[in-house]
Amino acid sequence: MANIDYLLSDINNINGIGSKTAKLLRRKNITTIFDLLWNLPRDFVDRTKTYKISELEIGKVQTFNVIVKKYNFPRIRNLPNKVLCEDETGKLDCIFFNSYEGYIRKILPLNQKVTINGKVNFYNKRYQVVNPTNISSDENSIKKVQSTYSLTDGLNEKKYQKIIQNVLEKLPNLDEWLSKDVLKKFNNISWKESILKLHDPKNFNAKGDFLNRLIFDEILSNFLISCNIRRKIKKIKKNKKKFSNDPYNSILKKINFNLTIDQQKAIEEINKDLKSDRKMFRLLQGDVGSGKTIVSLVASLNVIYSKFQVAFMAPTEILAKQHYNLAKKLFSDSIEINLLTGKTENKERKAILKNLLNGKVDLLIGTHSLFQEKINYKKLGLIIIDEQHKFGVNQRKKLSDKAGKNCDVLVMSATPIPRTMIMTIYGDMDTSIIKSKPKNRKEIKTYSKNDKNINDVINFVNKQIQLGNQIFWVCPLIEESKKIDHQSSIKRYESLKKIFRNNVGLLHGSLEKNEKDRILLDFLNKKINLIVSTTVIEVGIDFPNANVIVIENANKFGLSQLHQLRGRVGRGDKESYCILMFKTNLSENAKKRIKILKSSNDGFKISEEDMKLRGYGDLLGFKQSGLKNFRLADPIQNQDLFFLAEKEIKKIEDRNESLDKYFQLLKLYDRADILNDIV
């Protein structure tokens, strides 16, 4: 069997693993020999020091040499077998429950010297060890330092030791995949040697070249997959899009602000991609309120002018509607724009689908379901996906495939992510980043308030309403369950209605579309000043006149999510406020989060802090993204190695190096779903 196949073969193939043990290991997600290597030592035991019986300490696991003196086999159920042992300083009993006489006679032969390691107790005026498993007449086989592992119930340590030792002894050498330069940084340590060191009790909890190399392997394999997708997409040739500056200028005339430098740069980068003969696969990243929409609409208009259709997908209906309204406002009447959501009437839907096919519709705006549905376009040239941080690499690849050869892809994300994670999450795409916010933005003042002082908050809200300002009041989900999702918001709505009467609206997920639209329209037209809502307002909604957001039970939200919510306000030029409400007794962690939010309005910085507090796995949306958790690598601790891997990928790309050499690495690290079409 080739080395790699051996490593990836089922644990059943290991000597000493029967179907029962295999089942126990599978419970720990260990199915292959390779998996077994990543069940890391939990601790180690040192059995090298031997003690005289008189020196033994009660309650400790110790090693001692004794002579077997006398057996006592009571042959009565439930009574243990007993073996009396001694050395020149005292006596000790070995106690065996559920044991066989023959076995005991074999491991503890009468009048022989044996070495025993076990936990020492004191009972009936004598030292004793109960069911010791480490007994041998060969002193050296006991006097060892050994790694210990966390096990599932039913699997005993001794058995597991045998298995892992067996695997480590037979560990194959693999052809080196790291480049010479990189390998040098890890003192040329091979993969095999690194794994052996990882399990060596001498290195318990130690850091060093062996660990860094293994971490690097893991990061590199992850990046390489993305790199490969990128490469494949870059190979796709498409018809160049041809357009002048006219559409851009016509939009500029209709907005009452100047684009920021970063917005202009993003537009240039996108234009370059659109005009090239290679397919665009680009991420537009920018904090909430940084102005991504206008950039994507410029791109849309350019594509429409070059005689292609555009599909624009938003994550919610509310947002789709908002984009639709904006596009209507900015684009001249000669362009046909349609809105298609899950709630579009059947008759209208049929008409839209027909017009997409015959080319009458230039721009279709809808929810993400647009992508799932079978829609045929006459000449689709660009797909835009807004706020799509929950898409994983695989889904994006499918999207790009489905979009077809001539169709460019632009993904927008408002979730700033830590620098180290960009490659991990978006390595398959080119990226444009909008860092600077529009100039007129003021910092959002952030306060925290105890629930008890809710009247202060209500008074503040009242004053703001007097000034003609508008307020979001967010109530979190009480449980993940849909049913009670709305309870807190309905309750709050009812209590606020007593104070603000008809000036307050309620918004939550299960309202009828018409009802939702009516409330949002009322808010937009300033007929109502206050909206109580669940987190449906989280993504993207743009109401420049809203300047206060109150968030109840703020500790239920992660840092990034709070930042997103806060980003709903502060979009106009008014002084804006975010009030975080808490019940009493905040945890230390919650206090830290408030402090970070109060001190920064920078989404990228907040995401770094969030990752430090919560670990990268929990970071907003990552869990849903299909992103595999790393076994060893940690984007906080191993920042340097992430950057090193990024550099290495860049080199590989620049030299257009073949990925064949990494075949084993990729196969081992199991990103195989994509791998299938690499080789």
The residue from 80, 359, 544, 615 that contacts ligand ADP (CB under 6 A) is 544
Rounded to whole angstroms, the Cα distance separating 651 from 397 reads: 23
Does position 286 interact with ligand ADP (CB under 6 A)? The reply is: yes
Nearest distance, CB of residue 398 and Mg ion, angstroms = 23
Rounded to whole angstroms, the Cα distance separating 135 from 133 reads: 6
- Beta-carbon contacts of 621 under 8 Å, excluding residues fewer than 6 positions away, are 389, 390, 415
Q: Does 607 bind ligand ADP (CB under 6 A)?
A: no
Is residue 567 at the binding interface for Mg ion, with CB under 5 A as the rule?
A: no
Query: Which phi-psi region, left, alpha or beta, contains residue 484 (left: φ > 0; alpha: ψ -120 to 50)?
Result: alpha
Closest CB 256 distance from ligand ADP, rounded Å: 8
CB atoms under 10 Å from CB of 43, counted, come to: 12
What is 301-364 written as a DSSP string?
A: HHHHHTT-EEEEEESSHHHHHHHHHHHHHHS-TTS-EEEE-TTS-HHHHHHHHHHHHTT--SEE
Q: How far is the CB of 563 from ligand ADP (least distance, A)?
A: 12
State in angstroms the smallest separation of the CB of 386 from Mg ion: 6
CB-nearest residue to Mg ion: 540
Nearer to ligand ADP, 125 or 253 (CB): 253
DSSP state, 110?
Answer: T
Rounded to whole angstroms, the Cα distance separating 39 from 450 reads: 45
Q: Are 149 and 164 a contacting pair, CB within 8 Å?
A: yes
Rounded CA-CA distance 65/17 in Å is 32
260 binds, among ligand ADP, Mg ion, none (CB under 5 to 8 A by kind): ligand ADP
Cβ closest to ligand ADP, residue 226 vs residue 293: 293
| Pairing outcome for strands 145-149 and 41-46 | antiparallel
Q: Which does 291 bind (CB under 5 to 8 A by kind): Mg ion, ligand ADP, none?
A: ligand ADP
End-to-end CA distance of the chain: 20
Residue type, 169: E
Told to check if 289 binds ligand ADP by CB under 6 A, we report yes
- Residue 232 site contact among ligand ADP, Mg ion, none (CB < 5 to 8 Å, cut-off depends on kind): none
Residue 292 contacts ligand ADP per CB under 6 A: yes
Q: Least distance from C-beta 163 to Mg ion, angstroms?
A: 53
Residue 505 is a binding residue for Mg ion (CB under 5 A): no
Q: What's the burial of 409, exposed, middle or buried (CB within 10 Å: 0-12/13-18/19+)?
A: buried
- Binding-site residue total for Mg ion (CB under 5 A)? 1
Q: Residue 526's closest CA among 507, 500, 549, 503?
A: 503
For residue 327, the partner it binds in ligand ADP, Mg ion, none, with Cβ less than 5 to 8 A by kind, is none
Please identify which residue in 247, 540, 621, 635 interacts with Mg ion, judged by CB under 5 A: 540
Q: Does position 294 bind ligand ADP by CB under 6 A?
A: yes
- CB under 6 A: which stretch of 144-152, 288-296, 456-464, 660-668 binds ligand ADP? 288-296
Burial of 658 (0-12, 13-18, 19+ CB in 10 A): exposed
Give the footprint of ligand ADP on residues 73-112 (CB under 6 A). Answer: none
Residue 570 found at the interface with Mg ion (CB under 5 A):
no
Tokens of 499: 């104070």
Binder of ligand ADP out of 179, 440, 450, 599 (CB under 6 A) = 440
Q: How far apart are CA 515 and CA 536, in angstroms?
A: 14
Q: Is 391 exposed, middle or buried (0-12, 13-18, 19+ CB in 10 A)?
A: buried
In the complex, the smallest distance separating the C-beta of residue 324 from ligand ADP, rounded to whole angstroms, is 14
Measured from the CB atom, is 47 or 571 closer to ligand ADP? 571
User: Out of 93, 262, 269, 542, which residue is the one contacting ligand ADP (CB under 6 A)?
Assistant: 542
CB of 542 or CB of 608, closer to ligand ADP? 542
Alpha carbon 395 to its chain centroid, in Å, reads 15
Q: Which of ligand ADP, Mg ion, none interacts with 569 (beta carbon under 5 to 8 A by kind)?
A: none
Select 189 or 294, whichever has its Cβ closest to Mg ion.
294
Question: Which listed option, Mg ion, ligand ADP, none, makes contact with residue 544 (CB within 5 to 8 Å by class)?
Answer: ligand ADP
Binding segment (CB under 6 A) for ligand ADP, from list 76-84, 161-169, 254-262, 268-276: 254-262
The alpha carbon torsion through 522, 523, 528, 529 (nearest 10 deg) reads -170
Nearer to Mg ion, 132 or 540 (CB): 540
Query: Is 291 among the residues that bind Mg ion (CB under 5 A)?
Result: no
Query: Which residue number, 472 or 669, has a Cβ lying nearer to Mg ion?
Result: 472
Compute the least distance from the CB of residue 337 to Mg ion, in Å. 18
- The answer for 626, left when phi > 0, alpha when psi is -120 to 50, beta otherwise, is left
CA distance 658 to 653: 9
* Neighbour-count burial for 620-637, b at 16+ CB within 10 Å, e otherwise: bbbeebebeebebbbbee
Region binding ligand ADP by CB under 6 A among candidate stretches 42-50, 178-186, 506-514, 538-546: 538-546
User: Which C-beta is closer to Mg ion: that of 476 or that of 540?
Assistant: 540
Using CB under 6 A, count the residues that bind ligand ADP. Answer: 20
Helix axes 487-500, 454-466, angle to 10 degrees: 60
Residue 561 interacting partner from Mg ion, ligand ADP, none (CB closer than 5 to 8 Å by kind): none
Q: Give the interface with ligand ADP as residue ranges (CB under 6 A).
A: 257-260, 263, 286, 288-294, 414, 438, 440, 540, 542, 544, 571
Q: Give the interface with Mg ion as residue ranges (CB under 5 A).
A: 540
